[in-house]
């Protein structure tokens, strides 16, 4: 599949790299085509890897991943172009962490709204699925490295889009029964508001390589 990954940070690089490894063609997008990190990534990732502007990447992808800073994501997607997102599955991995008032970061959207909902409202023709924002980049693409199975939450308004995202996640190593569909796009409030707890667990454990598992009464 052709996939556009918006974002040159550790998340964009991890997801884009894994997708190329799995045989997909990937264009990494940034504000400016020729971005140093994107060029270096594409050179190292080899065949199937390319880079360009946010619009280049979104236009290239049959599926698009938003791996940009949460506070900039709406602006990024505007630059990517509504026409380049229309009808496409858009996986939103971003978190709305606001570091402007110091540590710990605040959430710039919460309670009765979420970034994923804002994106879906701004781009009604995109098929937004929130996924992967609750784990660190390395775990996103290699959950098996944790040694035990854990849960990943997905949500969105489009059932077909969620099924397609679930397949991509399974190709990363997530087991189908641990990819938990928590409902429509408004459910993204939960995984986005999980971040304050994620940060506390991170501080306590001293590692970002962890995840939560949901257990039910047997």
Ligand X SMILES: NC(=O)c1ccc[n+]([C@@H]2O[C@H](COP(=O)([O-])OP(=O)(O)OC[C@H]3O[C@@H](n4cnc5c(N)ncnc54)[C@H](OP(=O)(O)O)[C@@H]3O)[C@@H](O)[C@H]2O)c1
- Closer to ligand X by CB, 78 or 159: give it: 78
Min separation Cβ 136 and ligand X, Å: 4
Per residue, the 3-state secondary structure of the chain, as one string, reads CEEEEECCCHHHHHHHHHHHHCCCEEEEEECCCCCHHHHHHHHHHCCCEEEEEHHHHHHHCCEEEECCCHHHHHHHHHHHCHHHHCCCEEEECCCCEECCCCCCCEECCCCCCCHHHHHHHHCCCCEEEECCCCCCHHHHHCHHHHCCCCCEEEEECCHHHHHHHHHHHHHHCCCHHHEEECCCHHHHHHHHHCHHHHHHHHHHHCCCCCCCCCCCCC
User: Is the CB of 10 or the CB of 86 nearer to ligand X?
Assistant: 10
Which member of 17, 59, 61, 70 binds ligand X (CB under 6 A)? Answer: 70
Is residue 142 packed enough to be buried (19+ CB in 10 Å), middle (13-18) or exposed (0-12)? middle
Residue 52 binding ligand X, by CB under 6 A:
no
Rounded-to-integer distance, Cα 172 and Cα 209, Å? 16
Residues 155-184 that bind ligand X (CB under 6 A): none
The answer to the question of residue 95 lying near ligand X (CB under 6 A) is yes
Q: Is 211 in the site for ligand X (CB under 6 A)?
A: no
CB atoms within 10 A of CB 212: 15
Q: Is 75 among the residues that bind ligand X (CB under 6 A)?
A: yes
Minimum gap (Å) between residue 35 Cβ and ligand X: 5
Binding mask 4-43 for ligand X (x = CB under 6 A): ---xxxxxx-----------------xx---x--------
Q: Is 151 in the site for ligand X (CB under 6 A)?
A: no
Site membership for ligand X, residue 69 (CB under 6 A): yes
Site string for ligand X, 97-136 (x = CB under 6 A): x-----------------------------------x--x
Question: Which CB, 203 or 215, lies closer to ligand X?
Answer: 203
CB of 115 to ligand X, least distance (A): 8
Interface residues with ligand X (CB under 6 A) are 7-12, 30-31, 35, 67-70, 72, 75-76, 93-95, 97, 133, 136-137
């Amino acid at each position: 599949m052709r996939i556009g990954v918006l974002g040159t940070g550790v998340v964009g690089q991890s997801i884009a790299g894994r997708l190329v490894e799995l045989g997909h063609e990937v264009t990494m997008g940034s504000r400016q085509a020729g971005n140093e990190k994107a060029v270096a990534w594409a050179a190292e990732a080899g065949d199937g890897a390319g880079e360009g502007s946010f619009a280049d990447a979104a236009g290239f992808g049959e599926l698009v991943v938003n791996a940009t800073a949460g506070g900039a994501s709406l602006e990024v997607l505007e630059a990517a172009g509504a026409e380049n997102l229309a009808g496409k599955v858009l996986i939103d991995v971003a978190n709305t962490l606001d570091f402007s008032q110091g540590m710990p970061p605040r959430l710039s959207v919460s309670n009765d709204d979420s970034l994923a909902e804002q994106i879906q409202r701004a781009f009604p023709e995109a098929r937004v699925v929130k996924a992967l924002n609750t784990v660190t980049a390395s775990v996103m693409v290699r959950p098996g490295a944790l040694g035990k199975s854990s849960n990943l939450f997905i949500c969105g308004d489009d059932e077909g889009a969620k099924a397609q995202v679930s397949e991509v996640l399974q190709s990363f190593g997530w087991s189908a029964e641990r990819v938990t569909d928590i409902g429509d796009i408004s459910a993204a409030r939960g995984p986005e508001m999980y971040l304050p707890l994620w940060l506390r667990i991170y501080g306590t454990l001293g590692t970002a390589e962890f995840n939560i598992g949901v257990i039910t009464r047997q």
